[in-house]
Amino acid sequence: MNQPANHFYEFGPFHLNPVERLLLRDAEVVSLPPKVFDLLLLLVRNHGHLLGKEEMIRAIWPDTIVEEGNLTRYISTLRQALGERHYIVTMPRRGYRFAAGVHEYWRESLREIHPSGATIQAAIRSLAVLPFHPLSAEECDARLGLRVADAVITRLSAFGRLIVRPTSVVRKFDDPGHDPLAAGEELKVDAVLSGSLQQASEHIRVTAQLLNVSNGAPLWGAKFDVRFTDIFAVEDALSIQLISALIRQLIGAEEGTDSRRDLC
């Protein structure tokens, strides 16, 4: 079944991009062998429906005679990669059904949800993540903002599709008085991610904004809330949420589609 090039799927913490043959789990790339990826895509595209074993074998290995045991092994490999056996339900002697809730979307649909969004004209190739600033010195650990930025930088650098300035060169912008756009110009990047931190009781809120350095236009913005358990758990939770949302945004920018979202 052919799908538009800008057709994507989400289920649980996963984001599936068929064109790039890319599976992300909370912004981390999940490595799958080619045939296992084909199997996942087949199941996801037919989510909620029973797929017979013979039908699946013909779809995954159209020009090869393959025993049913191969399909069983690939299903096992896929379950291990997803880390959740209940996503794929075995129907004894019949086949398999993808039981997870799947959200399908097209990039054009963002225009309907966010009518004020503007099309990004150029792909974002380089990015600087600036230290996040506490709204009040008394509210958050002053070091948390740099730690969150460092975690985001590390994860984005591992993603491999962006040039991301290292923490060593952005730490000098830890002063809340620095202008993000001026920092972006100095660092010679296409976009800059900056934000603030605010703590209230047992919760921490981070507000983030992605800016186009060339014209100062906001490309994306969001707010995230996490419970404060310990400093390391907060860093991980915030960075994972930011990365998950940001990578979707940057993928949209590369495709030249409408990828600006209103601030939450």
In the chain, ranges of CATH 1.10.10.10 domains? 7-104
SS3 assignment, position 113: helix
Residue 3, pLDDT > 70, answer: no
Start-end of CATH 3.40.50.10610 domains in the chain: 119-254
Q: Give tens-digit pLDDT for 233-263.
A: 666 666 676 677 666 666 555 544 443 333 3
Cα distance between residue 234 and residue 239, in whole Å:
8
Task: Give one DSSP letter per residue of 35-48, joined into a string.
Answer: HHHHHHHHHHHTTT
CB within 8 Å of 33: residues ≥ 6 apart: 77
User: 245 or 29, which is more confident?
Assistant: 29
Pick the CATH number of 119-254 from 3.40.190.10, 3.40.50.2300, 3.40.50.10610, 3.60.10.10: 3.40.50.10610
What is the pLDDT averaged over residues 28-32?
82
Pick the CATH number of 7-104 from 1.20.140.10, 3.30.420.340, 3.40.50.150, 1.10.10.10: 1.10.10.10
